[in-house]
Structure 1
Amino acid sequence: MKRQLSIGLAVVLLVAIVIVIVRGSGDDDPAVADGKTTVRGVIGSEKLAFFQDKRVIDAFAKHGLTVQVDAAGSRQIATSVDLGKYDFAFPASAPAAQKIQQDKKITTVYTPFHSPMAVATFTPISDLLTKQGVVRQGPGEYEVLDLAKYLELTANGTRWDQIPGNSAYPARKNVLLTTTDPRNSNSAAMYLSAVSFVANGNNVVSTPAAESAVLPAMSKLFLDQGYAQNSSEGPFEDYLSAGMGKSPMVVIYESQFLDRQTRGDGSIQAGMRLLYPSPTVLSKHTLIPLKGAGDQVGKLLTSDPELAKLAAELGFRTNDPKYFREVVGDRAPADLIDVVEPPSFETLERMLDAIGKQYG
């Protein structure tokens, strides 16, 4: 009797072990539902529309994937988000991606698309600043915002109503680009990368001495704006809905403007203009596969023609430029010449932290 009981217990234990093995007990095992593998990622908020697009969802489904995403700021993804819950991280900047790579000791990354920083404005503002030499024609059929000239205006604390002959926008407030909150948002960090380059004698800030030298002027660019929103969607929506009175010049991703133009939903109206800062910085959307099927998502985004075309339709510049050109045509320059690299993650973080501490 005891021997039969022992055999029975052994069988039960063996079955339990088999069940554990089949089901898997580790977080690396992907969940499977409806025959598809569920992959979880944390992404920059500017890509949320892409991953929520039904066509993108269907494209991943063709490859047996259900991709679920949470949105966070790129700085947060690199520093405070618990990445253990995710199969991939997809920040909007190369410095943030490099930080994750270093921390997780991961060498494989995918950069399926990118977007330059741009400035959304209006024809009266562009025309006014053209007369001041701040806006000029670029090498292609696009307008350039000269950051060096812009910094001259901000250094002097110039108000809009102090610009000679300004009857188009005589507002009693300083000439300033509207940005997101530098304590949270990647677009603000990319803007800081460009203006700090100019303020540092057209060199990437790379030393503590250079940081200290440029910080007073850089801090004013953010603090003098007053309240700033956490996500780039916020000021861009204000630009679209509230118009020139509230937001005459807004720092955005080029992809945001082009996405709305491509939709043809009427949100981009006559008189709305897109300027390209000189220099500008590319927001390089970099996917870091953390585990499971995260690597498959990165591979598909960089190799699948359907996903590349969908990325272009949502305003992103793809690795193969033909998709972007097919969708955008002559609404955006094919090539941007005056592009600079951002500082290292550590340098950028120190500057952002120093500015953030000055907020009340």
Structure 2
Amino acid sequence: MVAVLVGRGTLSVPTLGGVGPAPETRQITGVIGSEKRGFFEDPEVRRKLAEHGLEVAVDTAGSRRIATDVDLSTYDFAFPSSAPAGEKIVSREANRGVFTPFHSPMAVATFTPILEVLEREGVARQEAGHWLIDMSRYAELAGSGQRWRDLGPEYPSPRTVQISSTDIRTSNSAAMYLSILAWVVRDGGVVTTDSQVAEVIEAVSPLFLGQGYTESTSAGPFADYLAQGIGARPMVLVYEAQFLGEKMARNSRIRDDMQLAYPEPTINSTHMLVALTDDGAELGRALSNDPDLQRLAAEHGFRPGDPALFAGTLGDHGIGEPPTFLATVDPPVFDRLEQLINGVGARYSSPQPPEDSEE
């Protein structure tokens, strides 16, 4: 039987095929970003890891907390959702290797009428069958305070033009959004000084505070997008893996009018596994090198090391090849990103969301 620890609880998974793990199987433990929970819970993934002699149990925590607050001494590996968090862990913990088995660019889950409005405003465009959102022009439009009803009849909503993100104080996806906006404010430069931090905080805070209540994990607004539609969430910042994973899922809730668009520039959420023990390193090698595990990651919407494998997996589900080239930017180093997060977060008037559902 494989036990997967989720958050603060334990989920016991029935024995597969009535056969327990092989006698040589070693149980290893790690702390991960919650967006990878479904991957580690997948029976096919568990079965494949057992072939490598590994029975994996995981706790979930936010990437920021993994890097700064979580006691990693009891774990075999840490698996946050961003390169800055991974690099912070490497800087403070002895490790047995660093692995990046997959990644996922940040994207926007939206609807055809919304993109048609943004296209007319010069904010969105189609290229090679994919929608792109010019983030400089988007920031200008969102900062103007205009409402959707001011832009045309396609979506006559009194809402202001905003991408819905998550709470910057707890969520990695919001931190990635902040990193994109910081790049835009800096006219194509990474934040490196205190004065630049102050400039960015002043410029981007309205794009977070103007959203009203925000949740602590991207699963929340994405679930609203799927269930409530355009009236509730016209544009939601997501991991590409969330949208594509849902589209490949049995009984997918993605409808014909739902579209995946890419910020230009966007940023890669790099899933960096830091091995804290030899067993953790063995897991990192398995996830990175085993073609079946790479394929299973692709089936969960993550981009594996081989772009052809990703495209083929999507094709098997009737989904067109994603853009192979995206204009991407680097996030600030961890400590500068923390300054930005804390600066914007200090302007919230609402209580911080509970931490047990963090990404």
Relative to the length of structure 1, the TM-score reads 0.88
Per-residue CA deviation, residues 93-144 of structure 1 (Å, 9 max, x unaligned), is 0000000000114372000000000000011111111111111123x32110
1:157 partner letter: G
Per-residue CA deviation, residues 162-200 of structure 1 (Å, 9 max, x unaligned), is 22xx22222212111000111111100111111110111
Structure 2 equivalent of residue 217 of structure 1 = 203
Aligned match of 2:162 in 176, 184, 188?
Answer: 176
1:89 aligns with 2:89: no
Q: Distance in 1 between matches of 2:322 and 2:116?
A: 20
SS at match of 2:231: coil
1:158 aligns with 2:164: no
On the 8 A contact 1:141/1:333 being kept in 2, the answer is no
Shift of 1:333: 2.4
Aligned match of 1:53 in 39, 42, 58?
Answer: 42
SS at match of 2:103: strand
Per-residue CA deviation, residues 207-226 of structure 1 (Å, 9 max, x unaligned), is 11111112112111111111
Aligned match of 1:114 in 100, 103, 110?
Answer: 103
Aligned residues: 326
Q: Distance in 1 between matches of 2:55 and 2:206?
A: 45
Aligned match of 1:149 in 125, 137, 152?
Answer: 137
Q: Distance in 2 between matches of 1:36 and 1:264?
A: 31
Shift of 1:146: 0.7
Structure 2 equivalent of residue 130 of structure 1 = 119
Q: Distance in 1 between matches of 2:122 and 2:332?
A: 28
Per-residue CA deviation, residues 283-338 of structure 1 (Å, 9 max, x unaligned), is 00000011241111101011111100000111111112221011113634241231
On the 8 A contact 2:104/2:241 being kept in 1, the answer is yes
Q: Distance in 2 between matches of 1:333 and 1:35?
A: 40
Structure 2 equivalent of residue 297 of structure 1 = 283
1:256 aligns with 2:256: no
Shift of 1:35: 3.6
Q: What fraction of aligned residue pairs are identical, expressed as a percent? A: 46
Q: Distance in 2 between matches of 1:63 and 1:181?
A: 38
1:191 aligns with 2:177: yes
The structure whose Rg is larger is: 1
Q: Distance in 1 between matches of 2:131 and 2:344?
A: 30
* 4+ runs deviating over 4 angstroms: none
Mark the runs of 5 or more structure 1 residues left unpaired by the alignment.
1-31
Mark the runs of 5 or more structure 2 residues left unpaired by the alignment.
1-20, 350-359
Cα 1:195–1:107 shift into 2, 3 Å = farther
Cα 1:49–1:342 shift into 2, 3 Å = same
SS at match of 1:176: coil
2:144 partner letter: N
Shift of 1:359: 1.4
